[in-house]
Amino acid sequence: MTRRTILLHPDPRLKAKADPIGSVDTELRRLADDMLETMYDAPGIGLAAPQVGILQRMLVMDCVKEEDAAPQPMVLINPEILEVSEERSVYDEGCLSIPDQYAEVERPAEVTVQWMDLDGKTQKERFDGLWATCVQHEIDHLDGKLFIDYLKPLKRQMITRKMQKLKRERAREAK
Ligand code: K1U
Ligand code: ZN
Going by C-alpha positions, the residue among 84, 76, 123, 73 that lies closest to residue 106 is 84
pLDDT tens digits, 130-139? 999 999 999 9
Q: Look at residue 93 in the predicted model and tell me its pLDDT.
A: 98
Residues with CB under 6 A from ligand 1: 43-48, 91, 93-97, 133-134, 137-138, 141
- Any bridge partners for residue 91, and if so which? 105
pTM above 0.95, yes or no: yes
User: Which numbered atom of ligand 1 lies nearest the CA of 97?
Assistant: 3
> Ligand 1 centre and the CA of 158: distance in Å?
20
Give the right CATH number for 12-174 from 3.10.20.30, 3.10.20.740, 3.90.45.10, 3.90.320.10: 3.90.45.10
Domain locations along the chain: 12-174
Q: Secondary structure of the chain: what % helix, strand, coil (to 5)?
A: 35, 30, 35
pLDDT tens by residue, 14-37: 999 999 999 999 999 999 999 999
Alpha helix positions (H), 83-143: 129-142
H helices of the chain, in order, are: 26-41, 129-142, 153-174
Residue with CA closest to ligand 1 atom 19: 44
How far apart CA 161 and CA 141 sit, in angstroms, is 20
